[in-house]
């Protein structure tokens, strides 16, 4: 077996945030993997939080969960969706986590009395994390969060500057993502922000080898040559990341420009020719679905910020790909449902989904949405909190247990049908203490869940504290609620369904974290198939 000389691709961003470094990194990973390389990706985040687990979705967007229970940046979701790389807690490090590790070593006396400093101790810790993630890989793509010029990202930038000297100039490249804004009044695309961003990067010792310029329009060869000259970059290494209708078009667009070929040449690494047939097939299904469109109502509390449900949105799109249909996502604020009623806001959708979330705000609207879906026989999918709200709704309206609720929202409820696990009762720290990561789920033979998965036992990722109360489990089942999945080790409810309903499924885990465009998750494929059936039935009745 040949020993691998790992190649490093360091991705930084400038001018403004949210340019798409994560998608660019994921696309490059997809292209290199497509050419036969073993790759992984790593995200370095400059904020002081140990991880994003305690951060509001309004602040940070989605928290992505790995099999080993890591609460990570949402970009790791892009990495997994675009590639076959499996992410873990070793693929996301924050400043807080790095400093915490260094301080722990200092307290243990591992620095032998030396003064602990940013250089070399913090930067050495960062480099150690990069090397650990890169073991056994042909290439590792390291994305540095934030924007060049931010004070908090300087230790990460210094660490990746040093890495080139550590691994050799031929084994590391720097790729910088910048903005090319179009100024309407002048009728021109301006290159000066890119020039200044690169100048800032060079001030700290990093000369980019590649530039990816984010733009909403085509730019000329002459403009690329101008950018190359002022930024001291090979003209053949200046690429654009144009606005695309689907994120899954980006690998094809970057390949069309030849970025994977240039990377292979620059890093002097042998690869096979690219084979992008399946990416082209995905784009065909996204842009030209053969079965029209279905409308899915998503009833949640973070609907004003779509990044909060990034993996969920993509998993629904994957369900559409599996059924050759476009999925129109209609976000409905659960507080609006409380005020206006479910009928007024959901009567036009073909299916209803209640996603995960935390906090009491809007929960009654979610319960009303569940009841509407159950009584009107609209396909329903409840995820995490969505399952819990379905259990509360069933308890109130079928078991007639008035004021049933989750202890999370009402500590004095007479019927806590959703309760806190015993192991969670005394937990005080909020970060990293939920039921996190991959757990087994045994499926009930003959259930819809069993048919969808086609397996007896599955593994899915969790992120929650509260569970269905086993004290009520028997009564729920006697009244017709099917527990179609349970965790055999902890004897906890993992899935529920209603057998006399077109599609009424709830799961305690987050299946969206394991869905890919090439391998849509079976629960989402089944959900969209049910929505399609609902739509066609409605047309027939009309």
Residue 307 is predicted with a pLDDT of 67
Asked whether residue 196 carries a pLDDT value surpassing 50, the answer given is yes
- Cβ-in-10-Å burial (0-12, 13-18, 19+) of 99 comes to middle
Asked whether residue 306 carries a pLDDT value surpassing 80, the answer given is no
168: number of Cβ within 10 Å: 11
**Structure tokens belonging to residue 529:** 């198939």
Give the pLDDT mean for 285-297.
Answer: 95
Of 60, 318, 510, 521, the active-site residue reads: 510
- State how far the alpha carbon of 157 is from the alpha carbons of 79, 131, 177, in Å: 21, 16, 14
Q: Are 163 and 130 in contact (CB under 8 A)?
A: yes
Mean pLDDT, all residues of the chain: 92
Asked whether residue 542 carries a pLDDT value surpassing 90, the answer given is no
Question: Residue 81's closest CA among 330, 312, 354?
Answer: 312
- Residue 510 is a catalytic residue: yes
**Could you report the per-residue pLDDT of 464-495, keeping only the tens digit for each?**
989 999 999 999 999 999 999 999 999 999 99
Give the pLDDT mean for 2-24.
Answer: 87
304: number of Cβ within 10 Å: 10
Residue 511 is predicted with a pLDDT of 97
Residue 16 is predicted with a pLDDT of 86
Q: Are 96 and 55 in contact (CB under 8 A)?
A: no
pLDDT band at residue 343, thresholds of 50, 70 and 90? very high
Give the pLDDT mean for 153-160.
Answer: 96
Of 129, 213, 231, 384, the active-site residue reads: 384
Residue 389 is predicted with a pLDDT of 96
Residue 2 is predicted with a pLDDT of 44
Q: Are 71 and 53 in contact (CB under 8 A)?
A: yes
**Could you report the per-residue pLDDT of 493-516, keeping only the tens digit for each?**
999 999 999 999 999 999 999 999
Asked whether residue 164 carries a pLDDT value surpassing 80, the answer given is yes
Q: Are 316 and 524 in contact (CB under 8 A)?
A: yes
pLDDT band at residue 137, thresholds of 50, 70 and 90? very high
Residue 463 is predicted with a pLDDT of 92
Give the pLDDT mean for 315-342.
Answer: 96
pTM higher than 0.75: yes
Of 318, 467, 512, 521, the active-site residue reads: 512
Residue 1 is predicted with a pLDDT of 37
How far is the C-alpha of 450 from the C-alpha of 526, rounded, in Å? 12
Residue 276 is predicted with a pLDDT of 93
How far is the C-alpha of 469 from the C-alpha of 492, rounded, in Å? 8
- Residue 343 is a catalytic residue: no
Q: Which residue has the tokens 């910088």?
A: 176
* Chain CA centroid to CA 280, Å: 22
Q: Are 315 and 520 in contact (CB under 8 A)?
A: yes
In this structure, of 54-68, 88-102, 417-431, 502-516, the range with the lowest mean pLDDT score is 417-431
Question: To which H or E segment does residue 334 belong?
Answer: helix 334-340
Question: To which H or E segment does residue 176 belong?
Answer: strand 172-179
- Cβ-in-10-Å burial (0-12, 13-18, 19+) of 52 comes to buried
210: number of Cβ within 10 Å: 22
């Amino acid at each position: 077996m040949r020993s691998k000389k790992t190649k490093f691709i360091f991705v930084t961003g400038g001018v403004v945030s949210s340019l798409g470094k994560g998608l660019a990194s994921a696309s490059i990973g997809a292209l290199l993997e497509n050419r036969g390389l073993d790759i992984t990706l790593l995200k370095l985040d400059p904020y002081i939080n140990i991880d994003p687990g305690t951060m509001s979705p309004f602040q940070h967007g989605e928290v992505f969960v790995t099999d080993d229970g890591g609460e990570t940046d949402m970009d790791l979701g892009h990495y997994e969706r675009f590639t076959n790389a499996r992410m873990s807690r070793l693929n996301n490090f924050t400043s807080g986590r790095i400093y915490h590790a260094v301080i722990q070593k200092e307290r243990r006396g591992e620095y032998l009395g030396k003064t602990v400093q940013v250089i070399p101790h913090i930067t050495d810790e960062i480099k150690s994390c990069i090397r650990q993630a890169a073991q056994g890989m042909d290439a590792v793509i390291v994305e540095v969060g934030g924007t060049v010029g931010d004070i908090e990202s300087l230790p990460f930038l210094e660490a990746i500057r040093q890495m080139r000297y550590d691994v050799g100039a031929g084994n590391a490249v720097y790729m910088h993502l910048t903005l090319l804004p179009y100024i309407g009044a002048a009728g021109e695309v301006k290159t000066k922000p890119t020039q200044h961003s690169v100048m800032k990067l060079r001030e700290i010792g990093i000369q980019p080898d590649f530039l990816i310029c984010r733009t909403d329009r085509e730019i000329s060869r002459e403009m690329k040559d101008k950018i190359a000259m002022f930024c001291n970059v090979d003209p053949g290494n200046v690429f654009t990341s144009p606005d695309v209708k689907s994120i899954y078009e980006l690998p094809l667009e970057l390949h069309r420009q030849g970025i994977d070929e240039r990377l292979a040449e620059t890093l002097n690494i042998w690869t096979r020719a690219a084979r992008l047939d399946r990416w082209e097939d995905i784009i065909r299904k996204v842009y030209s679905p053969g079965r029209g469109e279905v409308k899915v109502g998503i009833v949640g509390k973070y609907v004003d910020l779509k990044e909060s449900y990034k993996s969920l949105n993509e998993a629904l799109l994957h369900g559409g790909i599996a059924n050759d249909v476009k999925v129109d996502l209609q976000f409905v604020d659960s507080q609006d449902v409380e005020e206006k009623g479910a009928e007024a806001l959901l009567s036009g959708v073909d299916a209803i989904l209640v996603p995960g979330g935390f906090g009491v705000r809007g929960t009654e609207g979610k319960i009303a949405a569940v009841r509407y879906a159950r009584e009107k026989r609209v396909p329903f999918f409840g995820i995490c909190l969505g399952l819990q709200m379905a259990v509360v709704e069933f308890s109130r309206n079928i078991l007639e247990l008035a004021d049933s609720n989750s202890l999370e929202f009402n500590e004095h409820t007479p019927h806590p049908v959703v309760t806190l696990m015993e192991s969670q009762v005394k937990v005080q720290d909020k970060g990293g203490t939920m039921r996190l990561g991959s757990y087994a789920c045994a499926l009930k033979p003959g259930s819809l869940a069993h048919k969808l998965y086609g397996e007896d036992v599955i593994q899915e990722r969790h992120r929650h504290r509260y569970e269905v109360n086993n004290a009520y489990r028997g009564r729920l089942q006697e009244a017709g609620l099917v527990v179609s999945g349970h965790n055999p080790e902890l004897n906890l409810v993992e899935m529920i369904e209603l057998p006399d309903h077109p599609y009424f499924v709830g799961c305690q885990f987050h299946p969206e974290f394991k869905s890919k465009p090439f391998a849509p998750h079976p629960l989402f494929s089944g959900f969209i198939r049910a929505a399609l059936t609902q739509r066609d039935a409605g047309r027939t009745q009309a």
